[in-house]
């Protein structure tokens, strides 16, 4: 029998939300290409954008030395509307050249960006036109990674949501895991589910286009990433039913995530306990060791990755931290409800950003740790505040039992560094 920690007497699901709509400090959705191109091994991401977009991708994703790259930028110079016909012809020509040179590409994503010339271009029609030309070998889809209205994790959401309408239909009762996890983590999840007797299990995105899942009214899906609101809606439009659960961060989060799937698929309680008790106990022990440094410390989340609410739940419930403010770019009530139920009332829950006002609140609270975007971390560090870059959390394997202590370590490291710096300073004085 699996006994989970009790829910707080009052959670945050019905807490008032501070909504701010001011200046934001976030990366754009193109960033998602960095992890998506590693996950989807026969996909290519062609950004239709400016030199700025090309620089962002090159500097963030680096150059692939040992393998052919799976992303690139078609740079669109400034054009008036009369030049758009040429732009379409140029795009068709570039795509034809790319696909002729790279027969390994089976899925091509045209990724829109925010320069005005790109916004004028109808990439959806371009994708439809190019699919007709290059079918059946290559499917061409489009989505926007524009920085105008997205946070950086929305790039993955837009990509997966674009894939959903093109997935084949099925009447089969299957579980669909949704969200790009590193292969090693995905394998751990699939192994646990197999041992629970849950199956068949499909993944979106799949590693290769030949393994793309089918979807239909008997599909039950569960998100592995909390930032997939559009994909969630797109799957429901295909008739698939969501499984509501906290996210698999930490020992408790992973257990509750698996328990929600187990309940849906009728896994007996003794089998659930037999499969999860061992890894859960190991994860709890490993997290407790790292949490020594976090216990009693305060944390402030600025809105950035959309992982903020599940991470705040993990840090408050499993690591003994106190959340001052949990800021998130978007608060999806249905997706975040199970997480908010677990967080004891107290922290300010904020949605959106007005960066100066939020920085005022950080300075007033002087939390032990601030989780924020890269652009804010250095200024806050210079004011003596410890910070954690939110973007690191999507580049590091942090889901499921085996990674629970690594997740805690990501937050403990800046506190250790600050303690060492403080000790060195004292010694020098
Ligand atoms: S999509 Fe927009 S924000 Fe992102 S790199 Fe290109 S120009 Fe910059």
- For residue 54, pLDDT over 80 is answered with yes
pLDDT interval class at 115 (50, 70, 90): confident
How do beta strands 71-75 and 348-353 pair? unpaired
CATH class of domain segment(s) 17-24+290-428 = alpha beta
23-36: pLDDT as tens digits:
877 788 999 999 99
pLDDT tens digits, residue range 286-298?
A: 999 999 999 999 9
Q: What is the pLDDT of residue 197?
A: 98
Domain locations in the chain? 17-24+290-428, 29-150, 174-276
Give yes or no for a contact between 29 and 158, defined as CB atoms under 8 angstroms apart: yes
Determine the distance separating the centroid of ligand 1 and the alpha carbon of 154, expressed in angstroms. Answer: 13
For the cut 60, the answer to whether the pLDDT of residue 66 exceeds it is no
Nearest CA to 49 out of 109, 107, 94, 114 is that of 114
Across 44-61, average pLDDT:
87
Domains 17-24+290-428 and 29-150 share a fold: yes
The model's confidence at residue 74, banded by pLDDT at 50, 70 and 90, is confident
pLDDT tens track for 306-326: 999 999 999 999 999 999 999
Q: What fold characterizes domain 29-150?
A: Rossmann fold (3.40.50)
Average the pLDDT over 400-406 and give the result.
98
Q: Mutate which of 26, 29, 53 to test ligand 1's pocket (most atoms within 8 Å of Cβ)?
A: 53
Q: Which atom of ligand 1 is nearest to the CA of 29?
A: 4
* Spatial separation of the C-alpha atoms in residues 194 and 197, rounded to whole Å: 5
CA 114 – ligand 1 centroid, Å: 6
Confidence of residue 194 (pLDDT cuts 50, 70, 90): very high
Backbone angles phi, psi at 294, to 5 degrees: -95, -25
For 174-276, CATH number out of 3.30.70.3460, 3.40.50.2300, 3.40.50.1980, 3.40.50.10490 equals 3.40.50.1980
pLDDT at 282: 98
């Amino acid at each position: 029998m699996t006994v989970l920690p009790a829910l707080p007497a009052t959670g945050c699901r019905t807490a008032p939300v501070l909504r701010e709509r001011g200046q934001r400090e976030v990366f754009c959705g193109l960033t998602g290409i960095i992890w998506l191109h590693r996950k989807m091994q026969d996909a290519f991401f062609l950004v239709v954008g400016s030199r700025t977009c090309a620089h962002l991708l090159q500097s963030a994703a680096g150059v692939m030395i040992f393998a052919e790259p799976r992303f690139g930028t078609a740079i669109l110079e400034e054009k008036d509307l009369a030049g758009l016909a040429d732009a379409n012809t140029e795009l068709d020509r570039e795509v034809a050249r790319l696909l002729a040179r790279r027969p390994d590409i089976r899925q091509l994503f045209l990724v829109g960006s925010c320069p005005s010339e790109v916004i004028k271009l109808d990439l959806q029609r371009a994708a439809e036109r190019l699919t007709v030309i290059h079918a059946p070998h290559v499917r061409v889809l489009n989505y926007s990674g524009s920085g105008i209205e997205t946070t950086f994790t929305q790039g993955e959401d837009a990509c997966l949501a674009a894939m959903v309408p093109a997935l084949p239909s099925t009447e089969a009762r299957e579980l669909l895991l949704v969200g790009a996890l590193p292969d090693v983590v995905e394998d751990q999840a699939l192994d646990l589910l197999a041992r629970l007797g849950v199956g068949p299990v499909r993944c979106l995105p799949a590693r290769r286009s030949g393994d793309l899942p089918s979807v239909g009214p008997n599909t039950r899906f569960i998100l592995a990433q909390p930032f997939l609101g559009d994909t969630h809606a797109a799957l429901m439009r295909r008739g698939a039913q969501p499984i509501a659960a906290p996210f698999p961060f930490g020992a408790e989060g992973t257990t509750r995530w698996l328990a929600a799937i187990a309940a849906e698929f009728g896994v007996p309680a003794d089998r659930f306990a037999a499969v999860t008790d061992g890894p859960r106990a190991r994860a709890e022990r490993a997290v407790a060791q790292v949490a020594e440094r976090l216990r009693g410390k305060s944390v402030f989340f600025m809105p950035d990755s959309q992982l903020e609410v599940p991470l705040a739940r993990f840090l408050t419930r499993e690591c003994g931290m106190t959340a001052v403010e949990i800021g998130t770019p978007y608060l999806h009530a249905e997706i975040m409800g199970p997480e908010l139920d677990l967080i004891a009332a107290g922290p300010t829950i904020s949605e959106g950003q007005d960066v100066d006002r939020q920085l005022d609140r950080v300075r007033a609270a002087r939390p032990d740790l601030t989780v924020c975007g890269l652009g804010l971390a250095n200024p806050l560090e210079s004011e003596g505040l410890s910070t954690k870059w939110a973007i690191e959390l999507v580049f590091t394997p942090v889901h499921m039992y085996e990674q629970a202590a690594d997740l805690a370590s990501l937050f403990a490291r800046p506190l250790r560094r600050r303690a060492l710096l403080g000790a060195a300073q004292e010694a020098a004085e």
